[in-house]
Amino acid sequence: MSRVQLVVTGEMERVALAVSLRHAFPEHALDFLPTQKVQDFTSSRLGNHPGRVPGLKTRAREMAQAIVSAFEPGRFLNAIPDLVLAVDDLELVNMDQPQVVTAYLAREIELTLKDRKLLPADESRVRELLRRRASFHLFVPMPEAYFYAEPAALTRAGAKAASRFDVAQHDTEAFEVDDPDYRQWLQKQAPNAVDPHRHPKQYLRYLCDPNASIERAYRETKEGALALETLAWPEVTARQERENYARALLEDFAEGIGANWQSPGPVAPLTARRSGGLLRNLAPAVPPAVAAPGHSPP
């Protein structure tokens, strides 16, 4: 039986991701530890990691600490997870720079290890466990996008209007919809929404309440959880050249629990399983630039 620790940033994932993965791999015995929910670090646009600055709490610190702490020296061997799967949303604001997101977290993990001041032997052991047992993946741009690849998931989420997102022609990870009724709904419900035609969760709110008559018709921990718990991941990843980040997550998770995930098409290179990385699928942190004379690097 594989012991799995999930680290997530959303309430829907906290409630439903373990159930969803168990549903996707029904033949494998999975022992999910209580899911850890941490602060997201992608909801605003990321730049280069600032390093450790007195008084500044970097935005990925909770995520990095949760990942590293799973393998902390002193934990009983039978309490160490076989796999740590950390997931955050890429979000629209970072859609054009996923490599910045992964590099930011890699730098934060390195700094977290440095903060621990581990003995060399302990640090080597923790690093080896991170390389073999920990992964970080992205929902692109957010998990609700994948509901559009399985029509029944939209029904479970409470959709009453028909979706006009053309799933036969477009990648849900590049979600964009042109729906005149949605535009009218936005004028009343969310006139200041940013990029609403590219926002799968906002569009789902409209689908669940097209008449704008129900308070919170779509709730992540209720309707969203129902959709995610039994999401048909094989259907989501069945189309070549699309949903590559979801495919990378599922293939990496499968390998980590000794299973096999077969679906057509490639995985996202940025989060694909690799050897010699900082995590199972995360490249080592790029060292900070050498500071100019008289200055210290971050």
Average of pLDDT values for 94-119? 97
> What per-residue confidence (pLDDT) applies to 289?
56
Average pLDDT of the segment spanning 58-68: 95
Question: In this predicted structure, what is the pLDDT of residue 291?
Answer: 36
74 pLDDT band, cuts 50/70/90, is confident
For residues 72-85, give the mean pLDDT: 83
Calculate what percentage of the chain has a pLDDT beyond 70. Answer: 95
**pLDDT of 203-262, one tens digit each?**
999 999 999 998 889 999 999 999 999 999 999 999 988 999 999 999 999 999 999 898
Q: What is the pLDDT of residue 288?
A: 66
Residue 156 has pLDDT above 80, yes or no: yes
- Residue 290 confidence (pLDDT): 42
pLDDT, mean over the chain: 93
pLDDT of residue 76: 61
Q: pLDDT-derived band of residue 59, with 50, 70 and 90 as boundaries?
A: confident
pLDDT tens digits, 2-40: 999 999 999 999 999 999 999 999 999 999 999 999 999
Q: What is the mean pLDDT of residues 83-89?
A: 98
pLDDT at 293 over 50: no
Residue range 94-114: average pLDDT? 98
Asked whether residue 155 carries a pLDDT value surpassing 60, the answer given is yes
At residue 216's C-alpha, the angle toward residues 213 and 219, to 5°, is 145
pLDDT at 58: 87
